Structure 1
Amino acid sequence: MDRPRPAETEVAEELAVVRPGLLPRYAAELPGARAAVLTRLWRALAHEPLPWIAGRETGREGLTLRLGDGRRLHGPAADPYATDAYVDVVRLDGTAYDDPARLMTDLTVPHGTGFAAELGHSVASTALSRADRAPLTDAWPTTDWEWEQRVVDGHPYHPNCRSRPGFSVAEQLAYGPEHRPVVRLGTVPVRPEECLVTGVWPDELRDGGRLLLPVHPWQAAHVLKRSCEDGFAAHPLMSLRTLAVPGGPHVKTALSARLTSSVRDISVYSVGLSATLSAFGESLAARSDGLLHVTRTLGAATAGSPDLAAVLRESPQTYAATDRGERVVPVAALATTALPSSPSWLAEFTRLALTVGLRLLELGVALEAHGQNLLVVLSDAGAPLRLVYRDLADIRVSPARLARHGVPVPELSGRVVTDDETTLRRKLFGSLVAGALAGTAGSTAALGTALETAVRDLPRTPDTAALLEAPVPAKALTLMRLSPGTPGDQWTLLPNPLR
């Protein structure tokens, strides 16, 4: 049977039409992009509970996976917290593979064909992003979107780190933050009686008696299939669907495309809870001894559908004292600076993040503190001062823990509410330790050293004990993509870098 045309070739052909001058750089970036995605895939094969892997054997020459059908897959020892692309090739029964899409195809596992196509798109889009990246300079950005544009490779551990199925090359260049575009959002007028609105919807997004819902141009063209009224210019942030308005709020738009793992829309449920969660977030920040700010949700609206909705949020830059030279930096962008290379800086940042995260967890709130949601306020000298958290839609709240500490329980329902300790710890440790901190540290050794220094000053609680002694939970991102019939998150356990 003929193989489908590689995504690398499709992107090259489109690029030859829309940006031919970028073709040589795109071709030069392809080998590194394959290694970047293959490294992420190898991490998953080494550490996730994939049902068709019968065993794992570690030796001086690396790691060998025994597949259920008797074949053997060999590669280097897999560091679960590494962010460098260190896997150039793996061997399946002696045959060398440097292309993650071809490897996944030839593994012939359930649902592997579709995932292989996504891996191919991830490689091609990573190469495209790297080819068009702006050179890093010693001068730090002055705007929030410029910080986010520095994150070229996407998710540090997901093999679909740059997969954008449904986006043409022209659309990636027009809407991807790493390509530094200005995006013109449209608006759709909707009668108030057709909408669920929480918070305060601003006057500038009203037209007479109607509400104007901001719409991403990709969404208008591919999902709503309608033209929109002219809206306003904004700069895309690393989530792609959230954009910064210069001098104004961040606008989270519905974007019903699969990016990495999930289809990105805005549920009616999340709009309904947004004002309550925002007020709750402010109360949490007030209990943090000045170490945490939570961006406020200014207003949210949906026209009864996750495909036509928007959320307006306060910019995290609100919480920087610019007169003192402070900057607010997404944690995912820290790796583009020299700061994490200093063990003392990394330990101080780790101490700050764990102090805030564990304090809130003890109270009854588990943040999804990955590198996109979590930001750090830096002094003019680069010292980590405080944290900023944005997007409360996926936190977990324990009414029992809140009540135990005398914290008023907000009127919440649905998936955000749970008293299950495993669920709460997974949410925080999986996002903060296996995500934000690991991605900043870049290796097991660096993460372990930072944690060892940071935990000395932490109060000893059952949650801290779990952090110190148990394996670290992490989302099984590849298993989730290969299990389309299983809803929700699936998990794996990574070696504890402290043990």
Structure 2
Amino acid sequence: MHRLPLPEAEAALGDELSTVRPDLSAAYAAGIPGTRAAVLTRLWRALAHEPLPWIARRERGREGLTLHLADGRRLHGPHADPYATSAYVTELRLDERAYDRPDRLVTALAGPHASGFATELGHSVASLALSRAQPGPSGGEPAASWEWEQRVLDGHPYHPNCRSRPGFSVAEQLAYGPEHRPVVELGLVPVDDCLVRGEWPKWLRDEDRVLIPVHPWQAAHVLDRGHQEGFSAHPLMSLRTLALPDGPHVKTALSARLTSSVRDISVYSIETSATVSAFAEEIAARTDGLLHVTRTLGAVSAHSPALAAVLREAPDLYARAGERVVPVAALAATGLPRSPGWTARFARLALTVGLRLLDLGVALEAHGQNLLVVLSAEGEPLRLVYRDLADIRVSPLRLARHGIAAPRMSGRIVTDDATTLRRKLFGSLVAGALGATAGSAAALREDLGSAVDDLPRTADLAALLEEPLPTKALTLMRLEPGTPGDSWACLPNPFTDRAS
């Protein structure tokens, strides 16, 4: 094994933790090997399947997978299961040296922008160990959907930057990270000149001025204006969105890079919020009650992505007596008991809804954070709830085929390109939410095989069954930070088991 000193991020976080929360230090240190493997497994998925230009070819053999680099070196590891969620990669061998630390491996690979990405991977390993060091919640099953979210420790199931939070101190991670189960005190910034869409409530107004909820991290690190005392809320998986006790959810601007993106709120998304929400509610009504969309109640912006907020309904409003609403990301992470065939029934429900809306002309970004499932008292999947409409795609041409008027809007949401629409849905729902819920290629193949029998035979379903499965090339996007928009990879199709 190629041994190097403790990586800077791990050591720095450990030193700070010994001052802030010394009671967590032992659990943090003990968790480092496991979180290195978790991040290395995610990284290996990317190296095995994403179109990275410095990988010349991939050779699959009986003993694993070998990547032939453009400079002549070889990187060897186990067969890469693109849908696996367990940490099965503990080391990768670059020529004659073995690496168990993802940041050191990326540094050795020395590709474009490797240094910055390696730093992010180090943060991801360290922050993930911090997440796992926190003692688990006491008590029984959560009562509210936000409590389920706070039990998701590992973040994105496939992104190597699953817990990367550069710019957050240990104290700030403990104070704001949902997995640490804090209560966050939001501030309020009064704004005179403000873009408002929907109904902004009176309790968030000060006479003629709008009061914009701000995250305390944003107030401390980004905003150059004062704020007044606000209200308490529970952070959700996205960190910037928080649940008010027995009330709506508030999405705040957070100008920090978490996993891939800077979490501010574009002026475009505020401008279109009311239109998109009303349209999505209308479309959801065409699913025979299988889908609910959390309505956007109001949205405001101080004409800046760094100071904006969105109020939307809580998903729990769509649960009846005895039912509960659980984010899909929490299904695997929390070990929720499942009856035989449960994942296949859930896959059938999700595909029925997703493909129906896609045929109508709406592609949801239905990953495990945006998509929630309503469970019966016995734990059976009944209906779906979708939240956060900022990144859906809408096809006026498909809508017109069904006699549906397109919403009056333009911009990135609107497209008639079939590839773009399918990538949006298949990449988030199948390669993301369903893949992570299944936990392996074999399990996903079994779940989907029994789920598609009763689905209408559309061109979209044919593409899902026959073509390589699209997924966002998350690592490629971090290694090409100057390239705008999303980059994509093709995963082996669970039905055909072939790669592109």
In structure 1, what is the Cα distance between the partners aligned to 2:368 and 2:337?
A: 14
The equivalent residue for 1:224 is 223
Alignment of 1:46-61 (within 5 A): 46-61=48-63
Match 1:476 to one of 473, 481, 484: 473
Matching residue's letter, 1:238: M
Residue 402 of structure 2 corresponds to which residue in structure 1? 405
Amino acid at match of 2:255: S
Whether the 8 Å contact between 1:101 and 1:116 is mirrored in structure 2 is: yes
Unmatched runs of 5 consecutive residues or more in structure 2: none
Aligned to 1:112: 114
The one-letter code matched in structure 2 to 1:170 is A
Which one of the candidate residues 388, 391, 396 is aligned to 1:391? 388
**Which residue is equivalent to 1:248?**
247
The residue that corresponds to 1:287 in the other structure is 286
Counterpart of 1:287 in 2: which secondary structure? helix
Which of 41, 44, 52 is equivalent to 2:43?
Answer: 41
Answer whether contact 1:473 1:492 (CA < 8 A) is retained. yes
DSSP 3-state at the match of 2:341: helix
CA distance in 1, matches of 2:32, 2:207: 52
SS of the residue corresponding to residue 76 of structure 2 reads strand
| 2:144–2:324 contact (8 Å) kept in structure 1 | no
Change (3 A) 1:420 1:3: farther
334, 347, 351: which one aligns with 1:350: 347
> Does the aligned pair in 2 maintain the 1:339–1:345 contact within 8 Å?
no
Q: Pairwise mapping of residues 56-455 of structure 1 onto structure 2 (< 5 A)?
A: 56-134=58-136, 139-191=140-192, 194-321=193-320, 323=321, 325-339=322-336, 342-455=339-452
Change (3 A) 1:451 1:93: same
Alpha-carbon offset, residue 3 of structure 1: 9.1
Q: 1:65 to 1:420 in 2, by over 3 A?
A: same
From the superposition, tell whether residues 258 and 3 of structure 1 become closer, same or farther in structure 2 (CA, over 3 Å): farther
Q: CA deviation at 1:226?
A: 3.8
- Cα displacement string for residues 423-455 of structure 1 (whole angstroms, at most 9, x for unaligned residues): 000000000000000011000011000000000
**Paired residue type of 2:134:** D
Q: Does the CA-based 8 Å contact 2:35-2:128 persist in structure 1?
A: yes
Instruction: Give CA deviations for 1:55-99 in whole Å, capped at 9, x if unaligned.
Output: 111111111110110001011000000000000001001201000
2:25 pairs, out of 23, 26, 47, with 23
- Equivalent residues, number: 493
Using the alignment, how far apart are the partners of 1:46 and 1:336 within structure 2? 24
SS across alignment from 2:34: helix
Q: Distance in 1 between matches of 2:264 and 2:408?
A: 23
Residue 491 (structure 2) pairs with residue 494 (structure 1): yes
Question: How much has 1:225 moved relative to structure 2?
Answer: 3.7
What is the deviation of 1:148? 0.4
Change (3 A) 1:151 1:136: farther
TM-score (norm 1): 0.97
Consecutive unaligned residues of structure 1, counting only runs of 5 or more, are: none
**1:11 corresponds to:** 13
Q: 1:339, CA displacement in angstroms?
A: 4.9
User: Separation in 2 of the partners of 1:425 and 1:220?
Assistant: 38
CA root-mean-square deviation: 1.3
Distance 1:486 1:120 in 2: 23
Q: CA deviation at 1:484?
A: 1.1
1:50–1:479 contact (8 Å) kept in structure 2: yes
Q: Secondary structure at the match of 1:293?
A: strand
Aligned mates of 1:258, 1:4 — CA distance in 2: 24
Identical amino acids, percent of aligned pairs:
74
| Deviation per residue, 1:113-135 (Å, 9 max, x gap) | 00000000000000000001415
**How much has 1:210 moved relative to structure 2?**
1.1
Secondary structure of 1:375's match? strand
Distance in 2 of aligned mates of 1:85 and 1:213: 41
